């Protein structure tokens, strides 16, 4: 049995609570997808699902196949029971930083990022379209658990949203927790830009990291299922995103493009973001967060 690194901090908000990992029982082949919000989480879950079921016969919907342990929508006992009952290789979602979750060195961790300014503007769309009744439910539960509630809605003030993002959804905070582990064999770093530029190559890299040998004849369809348009259409067919978002899957996946922050964030907001990058990340980590591996010509840890 591999070493286990126990959490040294907590990630707690009205939406998530990393303390929910306390009762989790791992398996040696577990895969964990750890990302800050709006950085390619669902995309990566879809990629791993396509790799694990190359014939396209994955059971149920994506949220059932790849549960989110930290989220406070469901009783944690129900989520852990669901995971214990899964007969397939498990792949589990979390937005909590590395120091807030247990790390099982015999398992594998896929950590996914995009330019924090893009993640922030995508978070703005997320906040704008998330149904108020969902926040009401989460906030009522949060208050009962002694957790500070979140604002029920967002009025479009990007300075206010930036502070909320820095407090609870920051790509900077998340990456700073994983960057020291970039040399570890149980971690694979993925960047949204790289998925956008070379989905085929990045999926091949993930298949190798997860020790998956996929029939060459199946490979084109395995990759084709993971285009953003294809994943959006699959989400539309599931019809589950309407429960949480005005506009359903189209609102959740939105545009999927980069540099939408230009013309949205003003100079003061960008300066505040830059300050957090400069004080929260090393220069090499900051450069990778902004550009990704393909543009830089090197991977984290090289």
pLDDT-wise least confident of 144-153, 207-216, 276-285: 144-153
- Residue 290, phi then psi, degrees to nearest 5: -75, -35
Residue 24 or residue 143, greater confidence: 24
Mean pLDDT of the chain: 90
Count how many residues are written for the chain.
302
CA distance 124 to 119: 9
Q: Which has the minimum average pLDDT: 5-9, 165-169, 245-249, 276-280?
A: 245-249
Q: What is the mean pLDDT of residues 166-170?
A: 93
Mean pLDDT of 1-25: 93
Reported as a single tens digit per residue, the pLDDT across 86-95 is: 999 999 999 9
Average pLDDT of the segment spanning 96-110: 98
Check residue 94 and give its pLDDT. Answer: 97
SS3 of residue 93 by DSSP: strand
Residue 230 has pLDDT above 80, yes or no: no
pLDDT per position as a tens digit, 113-138: 999 999 999 888 878 877 778 888 88
182 pLDDT more than 60: yes
Region 208-215 average pLDDT: 98
Q: How far apart are the first and last CA of the chain?
A: 28
Between CA 296 and CA 302 the distance in angstroms is 11
The topology (CATH level 3) of 4-296 is Rossmann fold (3.40.50)
Residues 117, 273 contacting (CB under 8 angstroms): yes
Q: Which two structure tokens, joined as six digits, stand for 271?
A: 């300066």
pLDDT > 90 in the chain, percent: 72
pLDDT value for 251: 46
pLDDT of residue 135: 80
Task: Quote the DSSP letter at residue 22.
Answer: G
The residue-averaged pLDDT of 162-183 equals 96
Amino acid 1: pLDDT: 64
More confident residue, 24 or 255: 24
Report pLDDT for 41.
93
**C-alpha count within 13 angstroms, C-beta hemisphere, residue 146:** 0
Which pLDDT score is estimated for 237? 60
pLDDT at 150: 82
Q: What is the pLDDT of residue 202?
A: 98
pLDDT for the residue 100: 97
Predicted TM-score (pTM) of this structure = 0.91
- For the chain, the structural domain boundaries read 4-296
pLDDT tens digits, one per residue of 246-269: 554 554 455 556 778 888 899 999
Q: Which residues of 266-286 are buried (b: 16+ CB within 10 A; e: fewer)?
A: eeebeeebeebbeebbeeebb
- Paired with 16 in beta bridges are 71
Residue 261, token pair as written in the block = 């922050």
- Chain-centroid distance of CA 40 in Å reads 6
42-46, 108-112, 149-153: which has the minimum mean pLDDT? Answer: 149-153
Radius of gyration of the chain (CA): 18
Written as one string, the DSSP assignment of 23-77 is: G----TT-EEEE--TTSSHHHHHHHHHHHH-TTS---S-HHHHS-BSSBTTS-HH
pLDDT at 58: 93
């Amino acid at each position: 049995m591999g070493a286990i690194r126990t959490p040294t901090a907590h990630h707690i908000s009205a939406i998530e609570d990393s303390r929910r990992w306390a009762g989790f029982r791992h398996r040696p082949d577990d895969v964990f997808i750890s990302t800050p919000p709006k950085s390619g989480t669902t995309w990566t879950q879809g990629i791993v699902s396509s790799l694990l079921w190359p014939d396209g016969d994955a059971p149920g919907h994506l949220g059932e196949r790849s549960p989110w342990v930290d989220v406070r929508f469901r009783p944690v006992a129900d989520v852990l029971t669901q995971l214990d009952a899964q007969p397939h290789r498990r792949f589990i979602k979390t937005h909590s930083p590395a120091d807030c979750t247990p790390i099982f060195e015999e398992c594998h961790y896929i950590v996914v990022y995009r330019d924090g300014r893009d993640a922030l503007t995508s978070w703005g769309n997320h906040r704008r379209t998330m149904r108020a009744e969902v926040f009401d439910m989460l906030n009522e539960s949060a208050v009962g658990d002694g957790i500070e509630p979140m604002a029920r809605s967002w009025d479009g003030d990007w300075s206010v949203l930036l502070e909320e993002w820095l407090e609870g959804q920051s790509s900077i905070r998340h990456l700073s927790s994983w960057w020291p582990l970039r040399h570890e064999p149980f971690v694979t770093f993925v960047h949204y830009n790289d998925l956008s530029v070379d989905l085929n190559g990045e999926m091949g890299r993930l298949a190798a990291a997860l020790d998956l040998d996929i029939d060459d004849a199946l490979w084109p369809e395995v990759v084709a299922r993971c285009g953003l348009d294809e994943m959006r259409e699959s989400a539309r067919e599931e019809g589950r995103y309407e429960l949480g978002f005005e506009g359903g899957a189209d609102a959740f996946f939105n545009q999927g493009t980069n540099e939408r922050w230009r013309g949205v964030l003003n100079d003061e907001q960008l300066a505040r973001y830059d300050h957090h990058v400069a004080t929260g990340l090393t220069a090499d980590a900051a450069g990778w967060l902004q550009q990704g591996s393909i543009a830089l010509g090197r991977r984290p840890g090289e």
